[in-house]
Amino acid sequence: MAVGTTTISLSPTVLTTLFEEARTNNFGLRVAESRLTASQLAVETVRAWEDPRVSLGGLIGPARRMPSQDGDLVYGVEQMLPLWDRPRLNREILVAGTQTQASEAAWRQSQLRRDLARALLRLSLVHRTSGFLTNDVAWLDALVALGEEKFRAGIGSHTDLLQLQNERSRRADALRTEHSRLRTEQAALNRLLGRDLQGPWPRVELPRLVPPIAFSPALATYAMTNEPRLKVLRQEKAQAEAVTRLTETMHRPDVSFGIQARQYSGDGGMREGMFTLSLNLPWWNAPKYRADLRRDEAKVRTVEAEMADYEFNVREEVLRLTLATDTAHREAVLYRDEILQRVQQAAASHQAMWELNRGTLRDVLDARRSFLEGQLMHDRAIVEQHQALADLAALCDLPDYFQLARLLVQITGPPKHPHTTPVPPAE
Q: What is the CATH number of the domain that holds 301?
A: 1.20.1600.10
Give the span between the Cα atoms of 256 and 275, in whole angstroms: 11
Residue 108 lies in a domain: yes
Residue 280 lies in a domain: no
Residue 2 pLDDT > 60, yes or no? no
| Residue 311 φ/ψ, nearest 5 degrees | -60, -45
Give the span between the Cα atoms of 334 and 384, in whole angstroms: 15
Residue 180 lies in a domain: yes
The total of other beta-carbon atoms located within 10 Å of residue 330's CB is 13
Residue 392 pLDDT > 90, yes or no? yes
Give Cα 244 distance to the centre of its chain: 30
Question: With bands split at pLDDT 50, 70 and 90, how would you rate the model's confidence at 425?
Answer: very low
Closest CA to 344 of 335, 353, 357, 355: 335
pLDDT the model gives residue 271: 61
Closest CA to 130 of 74, 178, 194: 178
Question: With bands split at pLDDT 50, 70 and 90, how would you rate the model's confidence at 22?
Answer: confident
Chain segment 233-289, per-residue pLDDT in tens? 998 898 888 888 888 888 777 777 777 767 666 665 556 667 777 777 777 778 887
Q: What is the largest CA-CA distance in the chain?
A: 136
Q: Sign of torsion, CA 88 90 93 94? A: negative
pLDDT the model gives residue 72: 62
Residue 65 lies in a domain: no
* Cα-based distances in Å from 29 to 106, 134, 209, 229: 9, 39, 32, 15
Question: With bands split at pLDDT 50, 70 and 90, how would you rate the model's confidence at 309?
Answer: very high
Question: With bands split at pLDDT 50, 70 and 90, how would you rate the model's confidence at 57?
Answer: low
pLDDT the model gives residue 61: 59
Chain segment 66-99, per-residue pLDDT in tens? 555 556 677 677 767 677 777 888 888 888 888 8
Question: With bands split at pLDDT 50, 70 and 90, how would you rate the model's confidence at 100?
Answer: confident
pLDDT the model gives residue 65: 57
- Average pLDDT (333-362) is 88
Residue 71 lies in a domain: no
Give the span between the Cα atoms of 13 and 148, in whole angstroms: 51
Residue 216 lies in a domain: yes
Domain residues for the domain of 400 are 7-49+84-252+285-420
Most confidently modeled range among 61-75, 145-159, 346-360, 378-392: 378-392
Residue 4 pLDDT > 70, yes or no? no
Residue 37 lies in a domain: yes
- Average pLDDT (46-70) is 65
**CA end-to-end span of the chain:** 18
Question: Do the bridges between strand 255-263 and strand 53-58 make them parallel or antiparallel, or are there none, so unpaired?
Answer: unpaired
The whole-model pTM stands at: 0.80
**Comparing 90 with 315, which gets the higher pLDDT?**
315
Q: What's the total number of domains in the chain?
A: 1
Chain segment 201-249, per-residue pLDDT in tens? 899 999 998 888 888 898 999 999 888 999 989 988 988 888 888 888 8
Mean pLDDT of the chain: 83
Query: Which of 4-18, 30-44, 101-115, 193-207 bottoms out in mean pLDDT, i.e. has the lowest?
Result: 30-44
Residue 163 pLDDT > 50, yes or no? yes
Question: With bands split at pLDDT 50, 70 and 90, how would you rate the model's confidence at 5?
Answer: low
Residue 204 lies in a domain: yes
pLDDT the model gives residue 266: 61
* Cα-based distances in Å from 320 to 127, 168, 307, 391: 28, 40, 19, 11
- Average pLDDT (322-327) is 93
Q: What is the dihedral of CA 237, 241, 243, 247, to 10 degrees?
A: 150
Contacts of 334 (CB under 8 A, 6+ apart): none
Most confidently modeled range among 14-23, 51-60, 90-99: 14-23
